[in-house]
């Protein structure tokens, strides 16, 4: 059995081995200083050529300074037409390796593991930046910003939303091209120095469009049965692993359930996750929804940790490690998720935008002022002294 297929790096610890979200963890040959992950978050701030800028360096390095164990880039397009907007960055050509390397170096310099996510947006690409409307681009965008729309592809010729352009059904030859592009993107982020890879198979993008029966009505070996609908995702995993080192982990983001009746189900997610174990995937990144409408921008009521049950079910039923994400803001909730064996990693996104030091502050909330010793000394030393002063002042006031 090859190192990429070995089950030992992917097995979750038993419930008797209760851990803290602040404990280190090793997956394959990569050690994470804690289980807190910064989710991939699009910045829509790249150049027209898909290059990152100084903004991306400052944005990502702040999370490493803030104490996270793993910091992911935003989704990197595997080809120009695989991005969402003209502001997305990519890993589709070798010229992008050097600027991506600067991102990896900035993250690693402050103790976090640098991770990269790769993606093909499929039928949800060719849209405006969110603050320009987040709708499919039109001639108006050409006139206003010089940004033209491009044709999109999907598993089947079904629009993502009512009124959206109809994508082209991707052909078998184009499928092979995309697999080669996923492999090449994995090679580029490997050469850039990233230590963890995340494949985006959720939120209505190209991989997700193959998985869901609502977006996949193909009559060939990629459509119909669950085995056929899973085929592309597993081929993508194989393609990425072919260029990704055996001692480095692959995360695979899934929408564990669709946002509509008759769509992809949690039982199907479990089946796909079981198959991942033989295709070099180590961690299932458990999200949900987004096949058509954007769940990230929907204003709906959600409970803290609302997606944690998906991570718990996949972990329990498959033995794979999982990552929980979704409105996790309270350090005690994050702690309970790991301590109770519901997930191996806890990812935060928009809470990190609000507070880049959330992981380091979570450590203080869970372990007290002694945790300031784990902060960068230029911050931690002063804050620990301040905590003593505050304790004395509060005691005197009582």
> Which residues are catalytically annotated?
205
* Other Cβ atoms closer than 10 A to 290: 21
Please, which residues have CB within 8 angstroms of residue 396's CB and are 6 or more apart in sequence? none
Tokens representing 104 are 């990896």
Q: How many helices (H) and strands (E) does the chain have?
A: 12, 12
Report the C-alpha dihedral over residues 130, 136, 140, 145, rounded to 10 degrees. Answer: 50
DSSP 194-231: -SEEEEEE-TTSHHHHHH-TTT----STTSSSHHHHHH
Query: DSSP secondary-structure letter at 171?
Result: P
CB 222 within 8 A of CB 155: yes
Q: What is the DSSP letter of 26?
A: E
Residue 257 and residue 306 in contact, taking contact as beta carbons nearer than 8 Å: no
Q: Considering only CA atoms, which of 365, 343, 342, 345 is closest in space to residue 70? A: 345
Residue 393, class by beta-carbon neighbours within 10 Å (0-12 exposed, 13-18 middle, 19+ buried)? exposed
Tokens 């206003």 belong to residue: 144
Rg of the chain, C-alpha, whole Å: 21
How many residues are there in the chain? 398
Helix (H, G, I), strand (E, B) or coil at 253: strand
Name residue, tokens 């081929």.
235
Contact between 199 and 205 (Cβ < 8 Å):
no
């Amino acid at each position: 059995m090859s190192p990429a297929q070995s089950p030992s790096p992917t097995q979750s610890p038993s419930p008797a081995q209760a851990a803290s979200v602040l404990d280190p963890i090793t997956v394959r040959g990569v050690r994470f200083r804690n289980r807190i992950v910064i989710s991939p978050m699009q910045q829509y701030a790249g150049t027209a050529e898909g290059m990152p800028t100084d903004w991306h360096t400052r944005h990502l390095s702040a999370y490493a300074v803030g104490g996270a164990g793993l910091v992911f880039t935003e989704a990197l397009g595997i080809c120009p037409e695989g991005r969402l907007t003209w502001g997305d960055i990519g890993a589709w050509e070798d010229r992008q390796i050097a600027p991506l390397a600067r991102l990896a170096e900035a993250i690693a310099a402050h103790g976090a593991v640098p991770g990269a996510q790769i993606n093909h947006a499929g039928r949800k690409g060719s849209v405006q930046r969110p603050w320009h409307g987040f709708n499919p681009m039109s001639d108006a965008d050409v006139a206003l910003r010089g940004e033209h729309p491009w044709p999109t592809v999907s598993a089947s010729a079904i629009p993502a939303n009512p009124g959206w352009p109809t994508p082209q059904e991707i052909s078998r030859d184009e499928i092979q091209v995309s697999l080669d592009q996923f492999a090449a993107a994995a090679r580029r982020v490997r050469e850039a120095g990233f230590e963890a890879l995340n494949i985006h198979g959720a939120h209505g993008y190209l991989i997700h469009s193959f998985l869901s029966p609502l977006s996949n009505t193909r009559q060939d070996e990629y459509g119909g049965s669950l085995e056929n609908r899973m085929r592309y995702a597993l081929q993508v995993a194989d393609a990425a692993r072919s260029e990704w080192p055996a001692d480095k982990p692959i995360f695979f983001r899934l929408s564990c359930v669709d946002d509509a009746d008759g769509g992809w189900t949690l039982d199907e997610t479990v089946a796909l996750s079981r198959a991942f174990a033989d295709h070099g995937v180590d961690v299932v990144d458990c999200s949900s929804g987004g096949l058509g409408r954007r769940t990230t921008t929907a204003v709906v009521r959600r409970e803290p940790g609302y997606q944690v049950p998906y991570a718990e079910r996949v972990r329990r039923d498959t033995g794979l490690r999982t990552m929980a994400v979704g409105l996790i803001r309270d350090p005690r909730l994050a702690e309970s998720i790991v301590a109770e064996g519901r997930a191996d990693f806890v990812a935060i996104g928009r809470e990190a935008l609000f507070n880049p030091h959330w992981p380091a502050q979570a450590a203080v909330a869970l372990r007290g002022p002694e945790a300031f010793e784990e902060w960068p000394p230029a911050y931690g030393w002063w804050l620990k002294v301040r905590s003593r002063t505050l304790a004395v002042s509060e005691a005197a006031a009582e």
